[in-house]
Amino acid sequence: MSSKIEQVIKRTGAVVPFNVDRITNAIYRAAVAVGGRDRVTAERLAAQVVDLLEANTAPGHIPTVEEIQDCVEKVLIENGHARVAKAYILYRDERARRRKERAARSALPSDNIPWHKIWDVLDWAVEHDLHTVERLNERIGRGEFPQIVRETDRAYNEDITTAAEMIGERQDKVKVVIIAGPSSSGKTTTTTKLRHLLSQMGLSLIALTVDNYFFDLELHPKDEFGDYDFETPQALDLDLINRHLVELIAGEKVLLPMYDFKTGKRTDDHIPMQVGSNEVILIDSLHGLYEGMTRDVPSSLKFKVYIEPLLQMKGSDGRYVRWTDLRLMRRMLRDATHRAYDPRQTLDHWHYVRKSEMRNIIPNIRVADYIINSGLPYELPIMRPRLLEYFEQWAQEYRDDPLHADAFVRAVRVRDLLHSVVGVTDESVIPPDSLLREFIGGSCYEY
């Protein structure tokens, strides 16, 4: 639809093109949060928002994001969509609260940060002279890259062994093992390794593929760029997952759905599954710790593992390398290899991935029974020759582009980080069972 309004003022003060699809997507996402999936109604309501906005906008005035959001609330309420309006208002208030918290730069520790685990990781890094990029470079300069790989992989595998032993101690009660963590944290490799260890301990595991519970693509919420959002837990049929888990734990035979990513369609009652008395259900999912996914399964029957690359290494600027930047680079390589995505697409979409995980994934770290560190000091030298040229290009192209302000900030930060690291092109010393192989290829595991 066309609109007299052509521009919008963002909270940063940047003036960007007006896009009614963003209003539609915001309304639809609010509806999804309360169980609705009617995109036609969302489009109709968005058209009313535009009409109201045009009627109340003086000639020459460029509306702000806040003014548009006020109109959305008014239209939702006047059309009788009280529950959707409440979800929209709550989300808006939450975003406002987070902006205030960032502005205040509170010194209080966050409940989302596993301080004890981070201390252990930092202690290990100092002990192995890998706590700064400078020390990492010095070790590489001495020809110690193969040793760095061995030391790092040993620590990672010991973490997995600890988790397996903890599960083994509760094997008479545990019925569901959950492996969760944000995008590209290494869930797939970790799940494979953990599954192998538990099998050696006599635990028989049956994987429940949560991806098969996606709603049909046409019912998925979209992000603000119009891309279908697979990152939100509301893209999954959580009620059906819960019902099937309860039935499986009770020993009942269940017909699971199957989702076809090529067609974007789900077929229900397709895959037969039954769990024996000595078998455990294994779930590997971004949202495995999201309360709504397993709400009907008693806590005593679940063992929850959280994975995050908790790298404790300071860059040349004196600041710690950001975990999200590690995962961004991993996902770029994985998306390019397995999904034929241009790395630029991954960067442009990452801010939305980040918003979703900050809201639905990372806060759940506090309920985990054990945290596995998947940060690898040796991945930075490997990433430099593979990705530095891209980040240099994006840092230049996005410099004065208000629509890609987030991408620009990330591009500059990662560019500077990779510039500071000594690159390694010989990847032969990285073993085929390394977690990094999940992203750079050459793994002995099937993904």
Q: Does one domain contain both 91 and 236? A: no
Boundary residue ending a domain (104, 129, 162): 104
Residue 106: predicted pLDDT: 35
**134 burial via Cβ count (<10 Å: 0-12, 13-18, 19+):** middle
Identify whether the C-beta of residue 160 lies closer than 8 Å to the C-beta of residue 166: no
Domain limits for position 43:
7-104
Residue 142: predicted pLDDT: 97
> Which pairs with CB-CB distance under 8 Å and at least 24 residues apart come from 192-199?
192/445, 193/157, 193/160, 193/433, 194/160, 194/163, 194/164, 194/305, 195/282, 197/160, 197/161, 197/164, 198/164, 198/167, 198/168, 198/280
pLDDT digits (tens, 9 = 90+) for 333-368: 998 877 778 899 999 989 888 988 888 899 899 899
Q: Does one domain contain both 370 and 244? A: yes
What global pTM score does this model have?
Answer: 0.78
Q: Does one domain contain both 394 and 417? A: yes
CATH number of the domain encompassing residue 378? 3.40.50.300
Q: Kindly list the averaged pLDDT for each block of 10 residues, start to end, along the chain of length 447.
A: 76 78 85 82 89 86 87 89 81 66 43 84 96 98 97 95 92 94 94 90 89 88 65 88 96 95 92 91 93 94 96 96 98 84 90 86 91 97 97 96 92 98 97 95 88
Residue 447 lies in a domain: no
Question: What DSSP letter does each residue of 318-354 carry, written as one string?
Answer: SSBPPHHHHHHHHHHHHHHHHS---HHHHHHHHHHHH
Residue 10: predicted pLDDT: 77
pLDDT digits (tens, 9 = 90+) for 127-174: 999 999 999 999 999 999 999 999 999 999 999 999 999 998 898 899
Boundary residue ending a domain (104, 129, 159): 104
Residue 210: predicted pLDDT: 93
Report the distance separating Cα 252 and Cα 233, nearest Å: 26
